[in-house]
Amino acid sequence: MSAWTPRPARGDKTSAVRDVAERSRRLAAWLAPRVGAREVAVHGLAAPGAGASSDTQLFRAHWMRDGSAHELDAVLRAAPSEEGPFPSYDMALQFHVMDGVRRHTQCPVPEVLWHEQDASVLGTPFLVMRRVVGEAPLDFRPSYQVAGFYRDASPSLRRAMWQGVIDALAALHRASWREVAIPGLPGSADADPGGAPLAYWRDYHVSWLKDDPAERVPVFDEALVYLERERPRAARTTLVWGDAKLGNVMFAPHSRDVAALVDWEMATLGDPELDLASLLVSDRRAQSEAGSALEGTPSEAELVAMYEAASGERVRAFHYAKVFATFWRGAVQTKYMRRMRAQGADIPESLITDSLPVRALRELLGL
């Protein structure tokens, strides 16, 4: 997803440096009692190259304890201080999701260390996790199908990267969500836990995307009617990553093994096929920028076959899952474009009414 992280105004470098210094000081003071030190020094606080819908920054912390020097390479992930692509951000839930997945599944995720709900510390709630050594493929402009280490890889290595992601997804979906017991996980307290994703995106469409619930949003309105009517009632219910895409995977240097799945702000209970469809739909966006898929990128049929082999489960309602993934990704993109236009950006109407998700939905729904 596109980053909405607030940035200093162009040319305001002095203010930016001052803000980083103050945030580093506050973060260091907050860390000190948590690492058992009198003082902590925080260095290098800066955003990574790839964008994220939350405010994500890397940093290194140093401190002395019992006469020994200690060091921590970490990631600070905070809720946006301005309006983001989602109505709200639950940093505590993200913390508990990653902690539960790490402790109870074979799905690789970053090690979360602490979280803070008091917005007075840094301005918004946040969490701190240990930095994962690796890098994520370029997600947008240019996409990984156009440039970067994915494009530079051999076809066999590209296929191995996809297999690693599929294996991680299958491991996540095998876990018993009741045993993982993530507090506050969407759907976990509902009579119909598998309905949580549709309930969220229905509300997003009606109450967040639209300026008025009665407003008509062509194609998306029809897609929501389809999703309500055709939802598979016999679908499995598992932990679902939510924002499944190659751009949210950290791959280890050289080997390109999956080091971690990141960005868990959309984690929920739901049909695991939604994650598989999200992978496919996000890759089609990357392919659209390139004009084609690089060799080694699995086709839809190959992706489904890979997942079925890894999970031991049959994919039964993939057309529905594709509509769902296209609907929510398109809704977020549309919200983003509307917001940019409201801020004065020159956004052509075609970017809203004839975007890639809109065209894909028309095709999927036969409109």
Residue with tokens 């930095």: 131
Helices (H) and strands (E) in the chain, counts: 12, 9
Q: Which contacts qualify for 65-70: CB closer than 8 Å, 24 or more apart? A: 65/35, 65/36, 65/37, 70/35, 70/37
Structural domains in the chain, sorted by start: 13-130 (3.30.200.20), 149-365 (3.90.1200.10)
Q: Which contacts qualify for 34-37: CB closer than 8 Å, 24 or more apart? A: 34/113, 34/114, 35/61, 35/63, 35/65, 35/70, 35/72, 36/65, 37/63, 37/64, 37/65, 37/70
Whether the predicted pLDDT of 2 surpasses 50: no
Whether the predicted pLDDT of 185 surpasses 50: yes
Phi-psi region of 181 (alpha: psi -120 to 50; beta: other; left: phi over 0): left
pTM to 2 decimals?
0.92
Q: Where are the alpha helices (DSSP H) in the chain?
A: 13-35, 91-104, 149-152, 155-174, 177-180, 196-203, 220-230, 273-290, 300-311, 318-342, 350-353, 356-365
Note the pLDDT tens digit of each residue in 51-109.
545 689 999 999 999 999 999 999 999 998 877 778 888 999 999 999 999 999 999 99
Note the pLDDT tens digit of each residue in 123-143.
999 999 999 999 999 988 899
Residues in the chain: 367
Note the pLDDT tens digit of each residue in 293-327.
999 999 999 999 999 999 999 999 999 999 999 99
Please tell me the distance from the alpha carbon of residue 234 to that of residue 236, in angstroms, as a whole number: 7
Whether the predicted pLDDT of 11 surpasses 80: no
Whether the predicted pLDDT of 17 surpasses 70: no
pLDDT of residue 18: 65
**Mean pLDDT of the residues in the chain:** 91
Please, what is the angle between helix 318-342 and helix 273-290, to 10°?
60
